[in-house]
Chain A
Amino acid sequence: MTIPAIRIASVTKHYGQLQALGGVDLDIEQGEFFGLLGPNGAGKTTLISSLAGLVRPDGGTIEIMGHDVVTDYRNARRNLGVVPQELVFDPFFNVRELLRIQSGYFGIRGNDDWIDEILASLDLTAKAGSNMRSLSGGMKRRVLVAQALVHRPPVIVLDEPTAGVDVELRQGLWQFVRKLNRDGHTIVLTTHYLEEAEALCGRIAMLKAGKVVALDTTDNLLRRFATHSLRVRLERPEAVQGLGGAVVEGGWIEFGFESFDQVEQLLARLREAGAGMSEMQLGEPDLERVFIEVMNRD
């Protein structure tokens, strides 16, 4: 049997009276592109910090590629690369020096070939000799990604890597991360941009108040939770009162449905009511709806 890239078993963490993690169980398989979603304060950063050894859980165990993050922390950390959320850097060194130093921390010498490859992949070659202070925010973000990759970790955690990043860089970053995933790296992503998670992640866990409240493939989550929608603009909106529609922005009225055979019935009822349809849109289920629905369940 293959060992999971990450195994989280009954992990709890309290900060004083506040329960940050309330018994999280989660297995992430090797090669997955996994999304970890939740509102602010749900416990995402605590969970990621626990993986990285920055936070010590009160209970439970965490393994990275089969190595316990406490008892076998050296091997666990060698198998993990973390791209932190904050734009942090050491102002004393240039990009290449930082990557060499980071390689050294992981016990690796003579890593320049791989460093050159990462620099080229992240379009940083021209900035290799630049001090971090002189780089733009987007460049600094790329260097953070490079630092997480210097030791070729099989498991890579990206903690909101596109927060405050412009569209062009975001696209470039996702292209690169997709390539890493195709090359076999396990990717764990937290993001507030749900459309990104929907497009990238094969499986998603949603956290709420320190607990996993939804865990499934992205497709299954979309199927299970979100309904399709039909939006119509009507000449006589008052005629459809009692049909279950909801007025949304721009004078549109939205009706939810779970299967497409319900659309025909709905259109027939609108016709019978003499509502006079002037425009119509079909809405696909999206992760945002799933997220809202999951978070609003008790």
Chain B
Amino acid sequence: MTEHSRLIKVGRVVPWVGFRTLLYKEVMRFWKVSFQTVMAPVLNAVLFLLIFSHVLDRHVTVYGDIGYTAFLVPGLVMMSLLQNAFANSSSSLIQSKITGNIIFVMLPPLSYREFYAAYVIASILRGLFVGVGVLLVSVPFVELHMAYPLWVLMFAVLGGAILGSLGVIAGIWADKFDQLAAFQNFLIMPLTMLSGVFYSIHSLPQVWQDVSHANPFFFMIDGFRYGFFGQSDVSPWLSLGVVSICFVLLAAITLAMLARGYKLRA
């Protein structure tokens, strides 16, 4: 060893800083363009709210005495939250892969668990920002009370984590933007739209009610809505169980992909 090389020491390493930095970077990535990543989805949701509440509010009531607009708002909040949680991790990863800057995350000593946690937590945060935004702008339209705020938070976080994980899977799997768009348009969008955001499944024929029960997004929306009204299409415990199992399964799949280095480490 040369005299000089003894002097070279790797900088002092503080535990968890790597993970926290990746999380910070992922949050700043969407925050720096929040007009596009937060404000625009809030505006989209408001447009849905204006149109549907104007057309249907006087004609439809749900769960007995709940007006349609009040019923619609939690669904819109959750739909926006889920879609944006997915968009966050998936777009970040595909952009990094295509531009090549993913290398800056692959070279440092970050574990695949830290990688997963940072991307998914950033996705949850973006989903929560958008969800809170939609909730705030709906205040002038409808008076809403949260019957069980903890249920609301639990489903929001679990739903964000599920879609954040799906976003990681899609972002790693897709090699091109159109593959990611296919994932979003042919899987995420239909499952979200047909999950009971705009209607109670009790208003559907029995066969479509049964089909809805095969859609995990239905349980996310229904459980989330339970937190507002204390009423839901199915038991909130059943929704919680389904959503939790979905999260555990998707987390396991995502972690296994990352541990193998699927499409990231040749």
Name A's B-contacting residues (CB within 8 A).
Answer: 2, 15, 30-31, 49, 52-56, 73-80, 82, 84, 86, 88-93, 101-109, 111, 114, 147, 150-154, 182-186
Contacts and interface: CB of A to CB of B under 8 A. Distances in A.
Contacts of B21: 101, 103-105
Given A30-B1, A102-B108, A184-B6, 9 more contacts: A31-B4, A77-B109, A103-B11, A104-B17, A107-B15, A111-B11, A182-B4, A185-B5, A185-B8
B103 A54 contact: yes
Given A73-B109, A114-B11, A184-B7, A104 B24 contact: yes
A184 B17 CA distance: 27
Closest 7 CB pairs of A and B: A104-B21, A184-B4, A184-B5, A105-B108, A107-B13, A88-B100, A74-B109
Given A183-B8, A184-B3, A107 B17 contact: yes
Contacts of B100: 84, 86, 88
B3 to A, nearest CB: 7
24 contacts: A2-B1, A30-B2, A31-B1, A52-B107, A53-B107, A74-B109, A74-B111, A76-B109, A78-B13, A84-B103, A88-B100, A92-B33, A101-B24, A104-B20, A104-B22, A104-B25, A105-B108, A106-B13, A106-B109, A107-B109, A108-B11, A108-B13, A151-B108, A184-B3
B266 A54 contact: yes
B29 A15 contact: no
B238 interface: no
B11 A152 contact: yes
A72 to B, nearest CB: 10
B9 interface: yes
B18 interface: yes
Nearest to A84: B103
A104 B107 contact: no
Nearest to B20: A104
A99 to B, nearest CB: 11
B5 A154 contact: yes
B101 A88 contact: yes
A152 B4 contact: no
Contacts of A80: 107
Nearest to B5: A184
B43 interface: no
B106 A154 contact: no
A92 B29 contact: yes
Contacts of A78: 10, 13, 109
A30 B7 CA distance: 12
B249 interface: no
B203 interface: no
B115 to A, nearest CB: 10
A185 B17 CA distance: 25
Contacts of A86: 100
Contacts of B237: none
A77 B108 contact: yes
B2 A109 contact: no
B103 A88 contact: yes
B104 interface: yes
A93 B24 CA distance: 12
Interface string B62-80: 0000000000000000000
Contacts of A49: 266
A155 to B, nearest CB: 9
A243 B53 CA distance: 98
- Most chain A CB within a 10 A radius of its CB, from B7, B21, B109: B109
B174 to A, nearest CB: 19
Given A106-B11, A184-B5, A54 B106 contact: yes
Given A104-B17, A107-B18, A92 B5 contact: no
B204 to A, nearest CB: 43
B12 interface: yes
- Most chain A CB within a 10 A radius of its CB, from B14, B20, B99, B107: B107
Nearest to A100: B21
A66 to B, nearest CB: 12
A2 B3 CA distance: 12
Contacts of B17: 104, 107-109
A49 B106 CA distance: 11
B6 A151 contact: no
B59 interface: no
- Most chain B CB within a 10 A radius of its CB, from A80, A108, A150, A153: A108
B2 A31 contact: yes
Nearest to B99: A88
B28 interface: yes
Contacts of A88: 99-101, 103-104
Interface in B155-195: none
